[in-house]
Amino acid sequence: MSHKKFTILIIAALLIVVVACFGHATNREVEKLVHQQFNEQQLLRTRQSAAGIESFLDEKIILVEMLAAEVADESPENMTDHFMLLYQKSGGFSSIGFVNSDGVIASGYPIEATAIGLDLHATQRDAPFDRARLSGKTYTTTPMLLVQGVVGSNIGVPVYSDGEFKGVVFATIEISTLSERYLAGVLPEGRGYIYLITKSGRSLYDGAHKEMAGKKYIGYFCGNNSSYADILREQMQGKEGAGYYFDETTGEQRIVSYTTVFWRDYVWSVATSVPVSEAEALIHSVYRKEILLLAIVIAIILAGSGSIILLFSGWNKELEREVKMKTEDLRMSNTELASANTKLRELDRLKSEFISMVSHELKTPLTSIKISMDVVNSLSNSETDARTRDEMLQIINRNIERQKRLVNDLLDISRIETGNLKLHLEPVDLHATIRESAESMKDLADKEGIPIITDLQGESPEISGDHDRLVQVFINLIGNALKFTGSGEIRIQAQMIGGHPEIRVSDTGIGIPAEELDTIFGKFHQVDSGLTREVGGTGLGLAICKGIVEGHGGRIRAESKVGEGSTFVVVLPGGKAQ
């Protein structure tokens, strides 16, 4: 019996050694897999932050260029209202101003933040101004201490009137604005931090070490030969990746995931730094179960070798399922982040299309205005030249109105997206509003040879709404119908259905494919057809209509068949007959 017990103990000991070795090997595989998935997750978060920063900065350049074109013929005193409107509606700017051709800041908003009266030449801050004056191109500055006393970047756009250099419109973006929007909330508090550095290794933002602002990490925060310095050099070379380093301050091992931020001629690097313990925490639950498994297996081995194999097998399978569950959770999380990055790329594509569209929409009227002004300047005072001058002035006026409409559409879509669209609600006669809208489009419709027919049934309901905004909706829908109706008619019907006014604007145009009916109310969306490309447009009209109608508590939809025409249906909150 003693011999048998000794044999069982030997077998049990061997089994325990085998189980321990197997558990150790499994631990290594689990740890490797979790670290790999964790690093990919952190890198996706970092890319998302970089894409947000790039999109934000490019958007601000477009807005400043549009502002410069808008104030080209204004005096410095009259520019302040334009600056104030963009400052309040856009967000992200700490100041907007104008430097005249002598290099003196002549106007700005807010007044206390623009150093009005400062002579850039006298203070030796004129390098960006001179570059814009000589090149005639938009400039951006690397983050530096600005005249406002803050660290930030300037965007400058040269302003010309009749070919003469007037000065530079500039706007300031503080680094703190970028950090608050795209960096501060990337990682949960206490789970790590994010930082942003220049190509020279100088800190622009550090969520955990505020004192690093403006300083170089290598030499100040870490030694030249440290593992962290190696990672920083990779970032300074504009590379993307992940690495491990030893934090000389806290004495802990950390993981860094980093990627590049491209803005004009500047290359920055954004990175997340988290303790290695964050990744290890993901596998602690697996380790606990494995330890429990080993304890139970040892107890069962000592209690009886007959049941040890079955119990070991059952617990081992449970361990495998737990590993698979954790791996699947990480995979799903990475899939969600990858989906978010895909959406960001789509937004970037839309942004590029928008830049191209706005550039075209701005360049076309500006070209017409420039040519017309050249013709006017070359004319004498004869009667024939006077008629030509009147025609040129009409062309100039039409193109100015076209640019004004584009800017108003951009401001409207910005108000709708930020929830700042204000409606002045009052009793409105719906039928009168429809007739007014149709009448305002009559001349354009007559020119195209397309009749506008109004079919207003019953008494006109009185609704609570913003008269001007409702007129804007109906004019947009009629104008849209005129664009895509080569011949035929446009019919506007209004009737009460289910206690709610329903207005239908129908045309006999090219129609809309069924797969695009759910997306045509999106910003910058245009139906892909030859006629669409021919008539042009910003793709903002239907998005603005949707925002105004929904702001009234109503809804809008489209019905269409390709080749037969389209109908846009507006349903407003219930009204009472007059």
CA 82/CA 463 separation, integer angstroms? 34
With cut-offs at 50, 70 and 90, classify the pLDDT of residue 8.
Answer: low
pLDDT at 253 over 70: yes
Structure-token pair, residue 229: 């310095």
CA 512/CA 557 separation, integer angstroms? 12
With cut-offs at 50, 70 and 90, classify the pLDDT of residue 534.
Answer: very low
- Of 369, 376, 417, 405, residue with least CA distance to 522: 417
- The HSE-up count of residue 427 (CA atoms within 13 Å, CB side) is 6
- The HSE-up count of residue 175 (CA atoms within 13 Å, CB side) is 23
CB atoms under 10 Å from CB of 33, counted, come to 15
Looking at residue 360, its pLDDT comes to 61
Phi, psi of 327 (to 5 degrees): -65, -40
Span 236-264, average pLDDT: 88
CA 444/CA 408 separation, integer angstroms? 21
Helix, strand, coil % in the chain, rounded to nearest 5: 55, 20, 25
Looking at residue 538, its pLDDT comes to 64
pLDDT at 528 over 60: no
pTM over 0.85: no
Looking at residue 109, its pLDDT comes to 94
Q: What is the mean pLDDT of the chain?
A: 82
Phi, psi of 54 (to 5 degrees): -60, -45
Whose tokens are 């000589």? That residue is 134
- Enumerate long-range contacts of 213-221, CB under 8 Å, 24 or more apart: 213/151, 214/151, 221/249
Span 214-232, average pLDDT: 89
pLDDT at 311 over 60: no
- Of 168, 174, 166, 187, residue with least CA distance to 147: 174
Q: Matching CATH topology for 1-341 and 426-577?
A: no
Residue type for position 238? G
Looking at residue 391, its pLDDT comes to 79
pLDDT at 306 over 70: no
pLDDT at 209 over 90: no
With cut-offs at 50, 70 and 90, classify the pLDDT of residue 285.
Answer: low
CB atoms under 10 Å from CB of 64, counted, come to 23
pLDDT at 313 over 80: no
Report the DSSP beta bridge partners of residue 503.
494, 570
CA 309/CA 312 separation, integer angstroms? 5
Looking at residue 350, its pLDDT comes to 64
With cut-offs at 50, 70 and 90, classify the pLDDT of residue 104.
Answer: very high
With cut-offs at 50, 70 and 90, classify the pLDDT of residue 287.
Answer: low
Looking at residue 168, its pLDDT comes to 96
> What are the start-end ranges of the H helices in 379-464?
383-418, 430-440, 442-448
CA 395/CA 401 separation, integer angstroms? 10
Choice between 552 and 388, residue whose per-residue pLDDT is larger:
552
Tell me 222's DSSP state: B
Choice between 303 and 106, residue whose per-residue pLDDT is larger:
106
Residue type for position 563? G
pLDDT at 295 over 80: no
**Contact indicator for 286, 30 with CB cutoff of 8 Å:** yes
Structure-token pair, residue 33: 């897999």
DSSP string, 522-577: STT----SHHHHHH---S-HHHHHHHHHHHTT-EEEEEEETTTEEEEEEE----EE
Report the DSSP beta bridge partners of residue 145.
151
Span 181-185, average pLDDT: 79
pLDDT at 535 over 50: no
With cut-offs at 50, 70 and 90, classify the pLDDT of residue 532.
Answer: very low
pLDDT at 408 over 90: no
CA 407/CA 89 separation, integer angstroms? 13
- Of 174, 143, 158, residue with least CA distance to 98: 158
The mean-pLDDT minimum among 93-102, 345-354, 393-402, 466-475 falls in 345-354
With cut-offs at 50, 70 and 90, classify the pLDDT of residue 39.
Answer: confident
With cut-offs at 50, 70 and 90, classify the pLDDT of residue 66.
Answer: very high
Structure-token pair, residue 160: 């010309």
**485 torsion bin: left (phi>0), alpha (psi -120 to 50), beta (else):** beta
For residues 360-374, b (16+ Cβ closer than 10 Å) or e, as one string?
Answer: ebbeebeebbeebbe
HEC secondary structure over 108-150: EECHHHCCCCCECCCCCCCHHHHHHHHHCCCEECCCEECCCCC
Looking at residue 157, its pLDDT comes to 95
Whose tokens are 């006109």? That residue is 460
Whose tokens are 């410069």? That residue is 68
Superfamily of domain 426-577: Histidine kinase-like ATPase, C-terminal domain (3.30.565.10)
Whose tokens are 């797969």? That residue is 515
Whose tokens are 């990779």? That residue is 234
Structure-token pair, residue 23: 């558990």
With cut-offs at 50, 70 and 90, classify the pLDDT of residue 26.
Answer: low
Looking at residue 314, its pLDDT comes to 59
Q: For the chain, report the end-to-end CA distance as a whole number of angstroms.
A: 108
Whose tokens are 């302003």? That residue is 159
Whose tokens are 């995979």? That residue is 331
Class of domain 1-341: alpha beta
- Of 250, 325, 333, 312, residue with least CA distance to 286: 325
CA 482/CA 503 separation, integer angstroms? 17
**Contact indicator for 167, 98 with CB cutoff of 8 Å:** yes
**192 torsion bin: left (phi>0), alpha (psi -120 to 50), beta (else):** left
The mean-pLDDT minimum among 118-127, 158-167, 360-369 falls in 360-369
With cut-offs at 50, 70 and 90, classify the pLDDT of residue 356.
Answer: low
Looking at residue 302, its pLDDT comes to 65
CA 167/CA 150 separation, integer angstroms? 23
**Contact indicator for 42, 274 with CB cutoff of 8 Å:** yes
Whose tokens are 């900065």? That residue is 57
**Contact indicator for 544, 476 with CB cutoff of 8 Å:** yes
Span 464-477, average pLDDT: 90
CA 39/CA 273 separation, integer angstroms? 11
Structure-token pair, residue 11: 């077998």
Q: Which of 156-170, 360-374, 509-523 has the highest mean pLDDT?
A: 156-170
Domain limits, the chain: 1-341, 350-410, 426-577
The alpha carbon of 268 is separated from its chain's Cα centroid by a whole number of angstroms, namely 19
